[in-house]
Amino acid sequence: MGPGTCIPLAADLGTAEGCKSLASQLAERESALHVLINNSGTSWGEPMDTYPDDAWDKLWNLNVKSVFSLTRALLPQLDAGSSPGDPARVINVGSIAGLMPQPVPTYAYDTSKAAVHMLTRKLGVELANRRAEGGHGITVNAIAPGFVPSRMSAQLLTYASEEGISSAVPLGRLGTPEDMGGAALFLASRAGAWMTGSVVTMDGGTVAQPLAMEPKL
């Protein structure tokens, strides 16, 4: 029951070669993989008339393509980490920006996260039964965080204050690492063993709130 060991493996997941390299490094150390969390991502905000084409390529390669490429490369280890009643788990990190547009010019980010959610649903069904491949099953789910302060999300504070963002959240606060970690633990635990193809919003109620309307005079 621990303490365990954390071994860092470096790879550029924005490239197909980097995804293959990480899978190869892991296979040299471990024969089985029980949980894969696809958490690598980046963002870019710029007005539409100057939004660079290479920003789209950078974001989609890392935010979307790497999720597919790395999961595919690690299928043998995920199959080995699955057992009857206890499938291997893939947890993708999406965003509520993939469920509702952000009021900021993050075109490639918002659409890439919507793609992550759809890829999650597609892979959730396709990987559910792996008996023909020598495994048992792999669940694929996604967490869609709301605003959680991080180095990447800090750029949003150039458009609105932290207090202003918090006031737009029904539960009245920003997310924390513990909120996100709790969702990941649920999906990785026995509690999430019969759940696949789902996108779990962790956003303090942001997506669920009614659309704001002006009162009728």
The string of DSSP letters for 93-127 reads E--GGGTS--SSS-HHHHHHHHHHHHHHHHHHHHT
Asked if residues 110 and 135 have their Cβ atoms less than 8 Å apart, the reply is no
Tokens of 24: 């190869």
CB-side neighbour CA atoms (13 Å) of 69: 20
Catalytic residue among 51, 107, 109, 159: 109
Distance CA 187, CA 191 (A): 7
Distance CA 202, CA 171 (A): 11
Catalytic, 109? Answer yes
Q: What are the catalytic residues?
A: 109
